[in-house]
Amino acid sequence: MGNSEIEKLKEELEKEKLKNMELSSRITELEDEKEEIEDSLSRIRNSKAYKLSKPLRKVRSQVKRVTQYGSVSAVKEKIKSRNLLKKRYKELGTDSFPDLMRRSEEKQKEYEKKIVISILVPLYNTPENFLKEMIESVTWQTYPYWELCLADGSDEEHSYVGEICQKYAADERIKYEKLAKNEGISGNTNECLKMATGDYIGLFDHDDILHPSALFKYREAIDEGADYIYCDEATFQNGDINNMITVHFKPDYAIDNLRANNYICHFSVFKRSLLNNTELFRTEYDGSQDHDMILRLTNLAKKVVHVQGIYYYWRAHAGSVASDINAKTYAIDAAKRAVSDHLINCGIYNTSITSSRAFETIFRLKYQVVGEPLVSVIISDDTSECVEALDSYNTYSNIEIIKESDFSDELSGLNFFKKLNYLAAKANGEYLFFLDGNVIVSSADIVKELLSVAQRKDVGAVGGKIINSAGKIEHASVVIGIGKDRAAGLVHHGFDKKYIGYMGRLCYIQDVSALVHDMLMIKKSDFELCGGFVEDYKIAFSDVALCLDLRRMGRLNVFDPYAEGISDKAQILMGSADEEYADDLKRFKKIYEKEISNTDPYYNKNLTKDSLDYSVCQKAGK
């Protein structure tokens, strides 16, 4: 390196030092401002006026609730649902543990092959009670073929960690090693892996708790051919797993969900051969090393299985990610890098990844449009307002607009779905964008937004979010087998447009079973391969049937909440007294009986089938 290059680097270093000094000064100023605000807040809260205003603040809170959930009745239902959930916490916690008879049955089950699951736990200054409870949740497993690998990076002040582990290591299935130095989460876990001899590897945090039947259930999944397994989980506090803060009932494996949000998280168990002699955790992703690992290994797995039910209890305490992501802010940047690298490995380049309004590590992914293919915008029941809004918000130039009104004579007497097929046949585009004339697009670059997703080879249909003029959600994807008719439910229907959704579901691109035709994009080749909209349906369900046919072909249907439109047209899937609707419903239920009877893969059997708000049901599958 030449002297000039060295001098240039020195100049850049000095600039960075100056910038750091400025930032440090700004941090000090902000901390002073924070103290002043906290003092002011404390004075306000202790004031007589604040105490007297409590009834008014309570009313304001209730008004805010009504705005968010859509109506007073919806708020009442949500409160009722939450109260039922609180009653279920113990049922999902210790009451779900196997009794003596069930323990005996699970422990005595015979297997054709002994498959050992190695559970890796990196230790670092683990509180004594957390450590004991974690270890005992493993020793209490009903499945006997496990080994617990403990790599301890604790400092000298926490020497009790080693003493406790060595006592438990009297059980030969428990392996303990004191590390020469703390290598961080990734390094310590990789040291655990070196100790492991099992066929499958499980990842377990040093302060969490496993359900006693967790490994038993996972072995059932392994016997079904699973090479990557995860389960639902609960976050608890104050040392009591029944004292739950949240329960997360997850969808089955969904790649778009996983890219935007590490929803799989715990309890990950996978076939050791998936590592293929590569690192388990990569230190450059410390903080989100699990997201990086899950993206890599599920991409390699032949069968990812989701065990539905709470089998992992995630402890929330000061300093844990479960308690506050701000405790580990470095995790955010690491997660973005993990997702970006994953996408590049999948051949998807130049994707913008930003934190969503739901949570710092729930991301909005904005894909790049490749090339400039022709998009045919097919507007049914077209209105001038719809066309004008499209013209205002669309920046994608290579489109053609096909309006129903231009073919009024030819379409006379045809039912709705026959009309759509006729208009699609007139299209020259590689992509078809069906847009109901009552929908006024309201998000910028809407064609680009949908096209960027529709271009992927694995995607069938992609649709956006529709809200009404009152700001309430009309469409945010379709779940099969739920709602009044137990056929196709419009989840989050009636909620305020600002609502983040169940576990942030209204803030990121995700895989879904179906979408409505009102704002739907699809490759013309896939549309024709499915035979278009089934014309036997008169007024409903043909769009949902198209999406399910795409799924049967192995395609993904994707909901993109960042493609938005406004419409006051009532959604037919909310039900109708029309005889034609009844006929369509009967036909749909007969043809898609299997999809309806099985739990929607992007839903969960522990979520209610009665309402559309992702409430936890009183009993699984009810």
Do 429 and 398 form a contact (C-beta atoms < 8 A)?
A: no
pLDDT tens digits, one per residue of 546-595: 999 999 999 999 999 999 999 999 999 999 999 999 999 999 999 999 99
What mean pLDDT do residues 274-287 have? 88
- Whether the CB-CB separation of 612 and 483 falls below 8 Å is answered with yes
Q: How far apart are CA 608 and CA 489, in angstroms?
A: 11
In the numeric block, the tokens 């006051």 are attached to: 568
**CATH number among 3.40.50.1370, 3.40.50.1820, 3.90.870.10, 3.90.550.10, domain 97-342:** 3.90.550.10
Residue 567 has a CB neighbour count (10 Å cut-off) of 22
CB 313 within 8 A of CB 233: yes
The closest of 320, 344, 357 to 237, measured between CA atoms, is 320
Q: What is the pLDDT of residue 49?
A: 65
Kindly state the DSSP code that residue 241 receives in the 8-state scheme.
E
189 contacts: CB under 8 Å, gap ≥ 6: 120, 122, 151, 203, 280, 281, 289
CB of 210 closer than 8 Å to CB of 139: no
pLDDT band at 127 (very low <50, low <70, confident <90, very high): very high
The predicted structure's pLDDT at residue 449: 97
Distance of CA 258 to the CA centre of its chain: 6
Q: Is the pLDDT of residue 342 over 80?
A: yes
With 80 as the cut, is the pLDDT of residue 329 above it? Answer: no
- For 251, residues 6+ apart whose C-beta sits below 8 A from its C-beta are 257, 263, 306, 511, 601, 602, 603, 604
In tens, the pLDDT along 54-68 reads 666 565 555 555 555
Q: How do residues 33-45 score in pLDDT, each as one tens digit?
A: 555 576 567 667 7
- 144 within 8 A of 216, measured Cβ to Cβ: no
Domains 97-342 and 370-597 share a fold: yes
- Backbone dihedral angles phi then psi of residue 226, each to the nearest 5 degrees: -70, 135
> How far is it, in rounded angstroms, from Cα 531 to Cα 516?
17
CA-wise closest residue to 232 among 286, 309, 178: 309
| 3-state secondary structure at position 613 | coil
Vertex 118 angle, CA 115 and 119, to 5°: 140
Among 54-68, 228-242, 335-349, 544-558, the minimum mean pLDDT is found in: 54-68
Q: At 318, is the pLDDT very low, low, confident or very high (cuts 50, 70, 90)? A: confident
Contact status, residue 250 vs residue 604, Cβ threshold 8 Å? yes
pLDDT, tens only, 129-184: 999 999 999 999 999 999 999 999 999 999 999 999 999 999 999 999 999 999 98
What pLDDT, on a 0 to 100 scale, did the predictor assign at position 28?
43
Exposure b/e, 236-253, CB count within 10 A at least 16 = b: beeeebeebeebbbbbbb
The confidence band for 17, taking pLDDT boundaries of 50, 70 and 90, is very low
pLDDT tens by residue, 361-407: 999 999 999 999 999 999 999 999 999 999 999 999 999 999 999 99
Helix 579-591, helix 542-552: angle, nearest 10: 10
Query: With 70 as the cut, is the pLDDT of residue 332 above it?
Result: yes
Q: What pLDDT does residue 521 have?
A: 98
Could you tell me how many residues make up the chain? 622
Question: Beta strands of 111-239 (E only): which ranges?
Answer: 117-123, 146-152, 174-178, 200-203, 209-210, 228-237
Whether 38 contacts 48, CB under 8 Å: no
Distance of CA 572 to the CA centre of its chain: 27
Query: Is the predicted pLDDT of residue 327 greater than 70, yes or no?
Result: no
Q: What is the mean pLDDT of the chain?
A: 90
Beta bridge partners of 427: none
Angle at 152 between CA 147 and CA 156, to 5 degrees: 150
Confidence of residue 32 (pLDDT cuts 50, 70, 90): very low
Going from N- to C-terminal start, the domains of the chain cover 64-90, 97-342, 370-597
Mean pLDDT of the 525-548 span: 98
Over residues 473-497, mean pLDDT: 97
Beta bridge partners of 122: 151
- Does residue 267 have a cis bond before it (omega within 30 degrees)? yes
Per-residue pLDDT reduced to its tens digit, 70-82: 566 656 665 666 6
Per-residue confidence band for 617, with pLDDT thresholds at 50, 70 and 90? confident
Identify the CATH assignment for 370-597 out of 3.30.360.10, 2.130.10.10, 3.40.50.170, 3.90.550.10. Answer: 3.90.550.10
546 Rama sector, left if φ>0, alpha if ψ -120 to 50, beta otherwise: alpha
Phi, psi (deg, nearest 5) at residue 563: -100, 110
- Give the pLDDT score at 40: 62
Whether the per-residue pLDDT at 24 is higher than 50: the answer is no
51, pLDDT greater than 70: no
Bridge partners of 123, per DSSP, are 152
- With CA atoms as reference, report the closest residue to 235 among 260, 205, 259: 205
